[in-house]
Chains A and B, each alone.
Chain A
Amino acid sequence: MFTVGIDLGTTTSVVAYIEDGAPKIVEVDGGKITTPSVVSYVGGQPIVGREAILNGNSSAPLFSMKRLMGSDEKVAGKNAVEVSADILSHLKRITEAKVGKQIDSAIITVPAHFSDLQRTATKQAASIAGIKVLRLINEPTAAALAFGIDKNKNGVFAVYDFGGGTFDFSVLRLVDGIFQVLATGGDNYLGGDDIDNKIAEYNFQKQGINKKELSEKDMIAAHLVSKLMKEQLGESDSVHKKYIYDGQEFDFELTADLLEKFAEELIRKTLDISTQVLKDAKIHSIDGVVLAGGMTKSPLVKRVVRDFFKTQIYDDLNPEAVVAVGAAIQADGIVTKNKNLLLIDVVPLTLGIETVGGAVDKIIHRNTPIPIVEKREYTTYQDNQTGIKFRVVQGERALAKDCRSLATFELSGIPPMPAGMPRVIVEFGVDVNGLLNLKAYEKTLGISQTITVEPSSGLSNDEMISILQKAFENAEVDAEKSKEITIQIECERMLKFWDSLLNDLPEQAHNEAEQKLGELSNALKKKDFTEIVKLKTILENIYGQYLDDIISARLSGKAISDIQEKQLCK
């Protein structure tokens, strides 16, 4: 049984697994732990990760599609579910190649604050990618798990998870291998991406660049430059990068003061949410705050968090890996039936039914432990009414129109009776994945109905079936094609890609790569597969370690050798 934990992030994804009792992270691109959650399509075929960012032959790459999970919105004709499925397929493939085993099952993490629709969409993506989902678990809970196992601590801890797209805050009680979530809260549209937008916006204005004239690729480059400046600022006062557009060079900048200004409102929001969650958890004090998410690497964020919580801050686990590691620990725990590890999570958002006046009848309150089932009785308000319509909503607001609508359904076939006579029971169940199941029945006569919550946005069941069929057919075609042909096609593509990057490599690597590319080209002609596979690995290692630098250098129009010299001088 090979099981993994997958952190399918807005900006980066990570896969981890347990080997001989210790967590291992799947290394990609010659030693990196993260795969950018970026996809571009070349002739309809998905390319994922660093290659997607660099591949000049593709249409504009798709970034941060997780932000659109559970919505109908399409970008370049692609739904977030399809793009996520392509990322997951890629992660599955590289993991299997690296570890040499087929993935039997996986835990996929989702932001704690993800709604039912967003969770369903994530499950759909996994099933399109052919991954059996053992469970969906919440990202901050996973981070707490990794922390708790690593540090072997008891007490009440909070997880402050500030990622690229989302913010989550959870409070957990840790007692002897039990991880009990006491309360959770967050914002699905609050992340590093929003700061990148502000940095780009500032520089457009300062340089007098008219945003409307930018092509999609120019826009992406500007955001990437902004993101890089944010990540590289660290403790220094300012960072400058060249931004090239329309053959002209612009000086993009980010200073510590500017970052503070751009991040201020977002950070304040994270602290407001944290305060609310601490209140909801009804505890007097916490023993520490665990940091997760790439944004917590920023010294600014770290400082604010430290000042605010006035308690021990745990930042020694890599905040980019901690979620995947926690997911791997839980996946392993389930598969090996580990009795000493138990996770009790909660419902993140209140579930209810819209009442006649447009208010919400709250049925399952947020922070209720899962799994849970709640019932409510309703009746007719007109004589001889034969059906009752229900609208299921999720959210904390008082009015249904301000909450997210999950589903509408009607219990019909009620025999004519005076108003108030029928007793219609609606049963809400939330399972361990945080997914909602609905049932409705008339108690006196026994008319019943089980409602599958078909997302009122995102992929419909029909769309899902057709995509699955396609994926299934492709899998069959793939199985027919011998493994060798697949490798041949992939290496031919890689050859072109690597060739296009040759001049970006520093001299020594350049020479080595050039020679190996020649050998690969020969091996491909001769169809010498042992040699092809060998060379592919060597080249992946040569290029892998430079890909991030190449991305950075290309964006600021520098040769990578300059960057490396500078780094040496430092």
Chain B
Amino acid sequence: MECKESRNYFEFFDVPASFNVDEAALTLAYLRKQQQLHADGDVDDAETTFLNSAYKTLSNPISRGEYFLKLQGIDIDAMPTEAAIEMFELREQYDALQNDEDREHFQLELEKKNELTIEKLKETSDLSEFAKIFCVLRFINSFLEKVRTDVYSRD
């Protein structure tokens, strides 16, 4: 069990160990593995569970980034000061919004920012720079989660 869990996800799917993962290739590898397990007969639940965890970890940018940094032995850094200020201001802006329409609009903008940050990370090869930007992404993401939940819970 321990040994299974310590397998490297990137190697497991045979994709380069990078944040900039080819999502189509990853999905294809995942489906192949699923099919393989299925074809091997009695599907071992633990093995399928491992496969699903690995896929889920790598297909989501946040968990993929965290996993990637962990593999590199890098602790996630504190957010750079300017970024921290910008994020703080974003939150204040959001809290001041009065109606659903504005919140929805804000959500769209934040989704865009999220995508842009992901793209930026994909192009960042310097690890310490990567760790800093990733920290911003994580913040945007959890903020986005809150905004999404607010919009979702409207009724």
Q: Beta-carbon contacts of B117-155 to A below 8 Å, as 1s and 0s?
A: 000000000000000000000000000001001101100
Question: A191 in the interface, Cβ–Cβ < 8 Å?
Answer: no
Q: Name which residue of chain B comes closest to A364, CB basis.
A: B56
Identify B49's interface contact among A175, A180, A373, A397, CB under 8 A: A373
A257 to chain B, nearest CB (A): 26
Establish whether residues B34 and A368, one from each chain, have CB atoms under 8 Å apart when the complex forms: no
A396-B149, A397-B149 given as contacts; is B45 within 8 A of A368 (CB)? no
User: In the bound complex, how far is the Cα of B45 from the Cα of A373, in angstroms?
Assistant: 10
User: In the bound complex, how far is the Cα of B59 from the Cα of A180, in angstroms?
Assistant: 14
Which stretch of B35-43, B66-74, B86-94 is in the interface? B35-43
Identify B52's interface contact among A337, A372, A398, A402, CB under 8 A: A372
Measured between beta carbons, the chain B residues less than 8 angstroms from A369 are: 52, 55-56
A368-B56, A396-B153 given as contacts; is B45 within 8 A of A339 (CB)? no
Establish whether residues A175 and B31, one from each chain, have CB atoms under 8 Å apart when the complex forms: yes
Question: A23 in the interface, Cβ–Cβ < 8 Å?
Answer: no
Establish whether residues B39 and A276, one from each chain, have CB atoms under 8 Å apart when the complex forms: no
A368-B56, A372-B56, A373-B53 given as contacts; is B34 within 8 A of A396 (CB)? no
B105 to chain A, nearest CB (A): 16
Most buried by B among A342, A371, A402: A371
Interface of A is mostly: mixed
User: In the bound complex, how far is the Cα of B41 from the Cα of A370, in angstroms?
Assistant: 18
Question: B48 in the interface, Cβ–Cβ < 8 Å?
Answer: yes
A428 to chain B, nearest CB (A): 12
Establish whether residues A397 and B153, one from each chain, have CB atoms under 8 Å apart when the complex forms: yes
Establish whether residues B146 and A398, one from each chain, have CB atoms under 8 Å apart when the complex forms: yes
Q: Beta-carbon contacts of B10-48 to A below 8 Å, as 1s and 0s?
A: 000000000000000000000100110011010001001
Measured between beta carbons, the chain A residues less than 8 angstroms from B41 are: 337
Q: Beta-carbon contacts of A369-387 to B below 8 Å, as 1s and 0s?
A: 1111110000000000000
Measured between beta carbons, the chain B residues less than 8 angstroms from A370 are: 52
User: In the bound complex, how far is the Cα of B152 from the Cα of A339, in angstroms?
Assistant: 39
Question: A259 in the interface, Cβ–Cβ < 8 Å?
Answer: no
Establish whether residues A339 and B149, one from each chain, have CB atoms under 8 Å apart when the complex forms: no
B residues apposed to A, CB below 8 Å: 31, 34-35, 38-39, 41, 45, 48-49, 52-53, 55-56, 146, 149-150, 152-153
User: In the bound complex, how far is the Cα of B152 from the Cα of A344, in angstroms?
Assistant: 26
Interface of B is mostly: helix
Measured between beta carbons, the chain A residues less than 8 angstroms from B39 are: 339
Establish whether residues A178 and B152, one from each chain, have CB atoms under 8 Å apart when the complex forms: no
Given A337-B41, A373-B49, A402-B153, list of 6 further CB < 8 A pairs? Answer: A178-B34, A339-B38, A369-B52, A372-B53, A398-B146, A398-B153
User: In the bound complex, how far is the Cα of B38 from the Cα of A241, in angstroms?
Assistant: 55
Question: A201 in the interface, Cβ–Cβ < 8 Å?
Answer: no
Measured between beta carbons, the chain B residues less than 8 angstroms from A431 are: 45
Q: Beta-carbon contacts of A430-441 to B below 8 Å, as 1s and 0s?
A: 011000000000
User: In the bound complex, how far is the Cα of B49 from the Cα of A344, in angstroms?
Assistant: 12
Identify B31's interface contact among A178, A337, A373, CB under 8 A: A178
Measured between beta carbons, the chain A residues less than 8 angstroms from B34 are: 178, 342, 344
User: In the bound complex, how far is the Cα of B153 from the Cα of A333, in angstroms?
Assistant: 39
- Would you list the 9 A-B pairs with minimal beta carbon distance, nearest first? A369-B52, A398-B149, A339-B39, A342-B38, A371-B49, A372-B52, A397-B153, A373-B49, A371-B45
Establish whether residues A371 and B153, one from each chain, have CB atoms under 8 Å apart when the complex forms: no
A178-B34, A342-B38 given as contacts; is B150 within 8 A of A398 (CB)? yes
B134 to chain A, nearest CB (A): 19
Measured between beta carbons, the chain B residues less than 8 angstroms from A337 are: 41
Most buried by B among A175, A178, A344: A344
User: In the bound complex, how far is the Cα of B153 from the Cα of A397, in angstroms?
Assistant: 6
Establish whether residues B48 and A371, one from each chain, have CB atoms under 8 Å apart when the complex forms: yes
Establish whether residues A276 and B49, one from each chain, have CB atoms under 8 Å apart when the complex forms: no
26 A-B residue pairs with CB within 8 Å: A175-B31, A178-B31, A178-B35, A180-B31, A276-B152, A337-B41, A342-B35, A342-B38, A344-B34, A368-B52, A368-B56, A369-B52, A369-B55, A370-B52, A371-B52, A372-B53, A372-B56, A396-B149, A396-B152, A396-B153, A397-B152, A398-B153, A402-B153, A429-B49, A431-B45, A432-B45
Most buried by A among B34, B38, B48, B146: B38
User: In the bound complex, how far is the Cα of B53 from the Cα of A369, in angstroms?
Assistant: 8
User: In the bound complex, how far is the Cα of B152 from the Cα of A289, in angstroms?
Assistant: 24
User: In the bound complex, how far is the Cα of B13 from the Cα of A381, in angstroms?
Assistant: 40
User: In the bound complex, how far is the Cα of B49 from the Cα of A276, in angstroms?
Assistant: 27
Q: Name which residue of chain B comes closest to A398, CB basis.
A: B149
User: In the bound complex, how far is the Cα of B52 from the Cα of A371, in angstroms?
Assistant: 7
Which A residues, 383 to 429, have Cβ-Cβ distances below 8 Å to chain B? 396-398, 402, 429
Q: Name which residue of chain B comes closest to A350, CB basis.
A: B149
Measured between beta carbons, the chain B residues less than 8 angstroms from A429 are: 49
Measured between beta carbons, the chain A residues less than 8 angstroms from B152 are: 276, 396-397
Identify A372's interface contact among B49, B146, B149, B153, CB under 8 A: B49
Measured between beta carbons, the chain B residues less than 8 angstroms from A373 are: 49, 53
Q: Name which residue of chain B comes closest to A429, CB basis.
A: B49
User: In the bound complex, how far is the Cα of B49 from the Cα of A372, in angstroms?
Assistant: 5
Q: Name which residue of chain A comes closest to B56, CB basis.
A: A368
Q: Name which residue of chain B comes closest to A272, CB basis.
A: B155
Measured between beta carbons, the chain A residues less than 8 angstroms from B35 are: 178, 342
Measured between beta carbons, the chain A residues less than 8 angstroms from B53 are: 372-374
Measured between beta carbons, the chain B residues less than 8 angstroms from A175 are: 31
B39 to chain A, nearest CB (A): 5
User: In the bound complex, how far is the Cα of B49 from the Cα of A370, in angstroms?
Assistant: 7
User: In the bound complex, how far is the Cα of B74 from the Cα of A438, in angstroms?
Assistant: 32
User: In the bound complex, how far is the Cα of B152 from the Cα of A397, in angstroms?
Assistant: 8
Q: Name which residue of chain A comes closest to B146, CB basis.
A: A398
Which A residues, 353 to 369, have Cβ-Cβ distances below 8 Å to chain B? 368-369
Q: Beta-carbon contacts of A328-348 to B below 8 Å, as 1s and 0s?
A: 000000000101001010000
B57 to chain A, nearest CB (A): 11
User: In the bound complex, how far is the Cα of B35 from the Cα of A339, in angstroms?
Assistant: 8
A18 to chain B, nearest CB (A): 19
B2 to chain A, nearest CB (A): 13
Measured between beta carbons, the chain B residues less than 8 angstroms from A180 are: 31
User: In the bound complex, how far is the Cα of B152 from the Cα of A364, in angstroms?
Assistant: 18
User: In the bound complex, how far is the Cα of B35 from the Cα of A175, in angstroms?
Assistant: 11
B22 to chain A, nearest CB (A): 15
User: In the bound complex, how far is the Cα of B52 from the Cα of A276, in angstroms?
Assistant: 23
B19 to chain A, nearest CB (A): 17
B54 to chain A, nearest CB (A): 11
User: In the bound complex, how far is the Cα of B56 from the Cα of A519, in angstroms?
Assistant: 67
User: In the bound complex, how far is the Cα of B48 from the Cα of A272, in angstroms?
Assistant: 33
Which A residues, 166 to 191, have Cβ-Cβ distances below 8 Å to chain B? 175, 178, 180
